[in-house]
A and B are shown apart, each in its own frame.
Chain A
Amino acid sequence: MLFTNNCNPAQLRHGARGTIVSRACLLCLLFAYGLTGFAAVPQPPQRGEDLLLTDNQGGRYGGTLVVAQRTEPKSLNPVTAADAPSREVIGRLMADLIHINRVSQQTEPALAKSWSMSKDGRTFTIRLRHGLRFSDGQPFDADDVVFSFQLYLDEKIHSPQRDLLIIGGKPIEVKKLDQYTVRFTLAQPYAAAERLFDSLAIMPRHLLARPYQEGKFVQAWTLASSPDEIAGMGPFRMKSYVPGQKLVLERNPYYWKMDQNKNRLPYLDELVFLSVGNEDAQMLRFVAGDTDIISRVGAENYALLSREASSRGTELFDLGPSLEYNFLVFNLNDLKSKNLDRLAAKQAWFQELKFRQAVSAAIDREGIVKLVYAGRGAPLWGNVSPSNKYWVDQSLPHPPRSVETARRLLREAGFSWRPDGQLLDRSGQPVEFSIVTSSSNAQRMKMATIIQDDLSNLGMNVHVVPLEFRALIDRVFQTYDYEASIMGLGGGDADPNPEMNVWLSTGSTHIWHLGESKPATDWESQIDQLMQKQMLALKYSERKHLYDQVQEIIGANLPCIFLATPDILIGAKKSLANFKPAVLEPNTLWNVEGLYFAQEIQASALSR
């Protein structure tokens, strides 16, 4: 009963020939399924297979882990899939060359056994593990690596990850040196080059070469593909998909990691992704025991869950502040080409540094953490969250909230007050503006309401304008027709390099002033130079020093007024052993190969 009545591939492929072929495949699969039994059994290690010894131990085989997702995955194609649920699933099916350990935030070997960087930082030589196999049993070697990078760099496929591999304006060059060695050449030295390889999945040439040559790669590995067309080096392989309901993965019998007792990982038989809807529905499923893990819970729900945690056999984790940062940004774009004169008048206020400093001084960040995150969060005065221990500038000032300071700054900038308390600018215009934010993000809407109230203490008349998400993006990135906005960024990697485009003046996510061909202000050109330098510098201490300076410049000039960040709140069943949630994504499943169920009850699932 793999997938016959749920997602029949025969119906989904075109052409009669396809139907006959797929029916034959179906029969073979059923036969094979009958042979292997219910779960895919881990294969005994072969001679010459270079398995990675992990520090997992004491695990027992068996069990099904059920995880909820807010929306269902859309595609299993690692090169084209861009949405988060798809990437979460793909991350369990595939493996990368060098992996970032989500807890230590440092790189560690994965499919690459070892690597070396040339002195000038431009050449990477990677030595692969020998004797590994894909989840369908076919061998893995350097041809697959070269092929995978060819797919990522292909100019006709337009992978969202292609831009990661363009360093110094030129794409990375990939060359096979021998069956297990590959050399990567970059156009300029890049300090965090190792980190690039994380999440770049290595794909099977034997399955994908033909679709690629036929130009049909983008249609490969969709949800309609049958499981035998999909193979990867990850801990699990695709088993079945029920539209709108669940995606079931089963153990990869050829996975290349083993535990301390030389048992091949993963311990779990199956991993099920349930598509559940919204956060409230996720809560209900977890409370009912349908799912074993709940991640990114809201704080009030967290409080509800912790009250009943012990009686339900669940455990809750507060991992501290996340890496994301929420901020208030004012529209500082160059509006000459657009027809937005009324906005241009207001920009005179926004461009005044003391105005932004006054707004920042008047905002009650503690109140935001209390009311929006129920106390489980941290206030922010910079773009680096306090939990980013390697990169946060500890000496950055955290001025407390002070309405008097704000009023003083406004007075110095030439603002004055009417008898009824309304703030007026130099020319006597009342200060009135609107903050747009996404209507589907309740936290940012709440922040906007709090800020509206805070700024009314300064006599500013602020309107909160909720907009549908894409309408918001259209205004902020396309038409520039907005005055202020509350947005959130970050959360990807701890390293500053992925955020280059936010702080570089020519960057595509330089939100407050997009489309700059050259830096509009001195401090922006300073940031440009510092960011470029830290990208080229190879030593951590040097990069940290440069990035500290960037944080200080940002703090002094306030292009964004940083607000707060939520804590990462996670819940899981107590019977799930080896569970080590991390601040980096994927918070809960990054070590899924080492997870197992410690209770007797779960192991007996195998005997059903």
Chain B
Amino acid sequence: MNNKLFLFIKGTLDVLPLLIPVVPFGIILGAIGIELGFTPLETFATSFIIFGGASQIVFLQLLSGGASSLITITSTFVVNSRHLLYGASLSEYLNKLSIGWKILLSYLLTDQAYAVSNVYFKKNKTNELKHYYLLGSGFSLWLIWQLFTLIGIFLGSIVPEELGLAYTIPLTFISLLVGYFRRLDHLIIILISGSLSIILYNAPLKSYIILSSFTALILAFILILLKKRLTK
């Protein structure tokens, strides 16, 4: 069998279980976009152009809430900043590729594609075609995300308001933190950031997300330093 195709399919199959939550999330995003007053095309464009899950909800929510473009863009950037780690972590495997490949794979890189590719690359360092694995996992997520955003956009225009769809926003973000609740240091940061966001909610320009995130990150840094001290 063609090696490139094999790797592409293997990447697709390995990422499939991680795509299950992407389906409802995509639907929620599409529906929320409509509920917040964006046009179907604008809502879809966030999935196609920004392509960043959680950050798209932040984008839609802030802009519809009257935040300035600068605050909206900065907040969206903060949510996406975790991708720095993914790119940097995969760079040792991919830095020999052509610029075209790097552009394509950067666009397709997501939490889920990173998770499976990182594992696969570690085990198959010498395979010259291993980027096809990331292409497969990245592309399948991209396709599912675009498709279910569209379905959500369609559903959003027919679902009645009484269902309280807006509540799915905090709920979705709670679900994205399930891996962190059991860790005390993360739990402290979660509670501090959350409380700050309530206190700072009326801060000018809807800056509460940036202000509470940055404060919580600084505290996280202090926690890291303290932990080091204690373990020494």
A associates with B: no
User: Which residues of B line the A interface, CB within 8 A?
Assistant: none
User: Which residues of A line the B interface, CB within 8 A?
Assistant: none
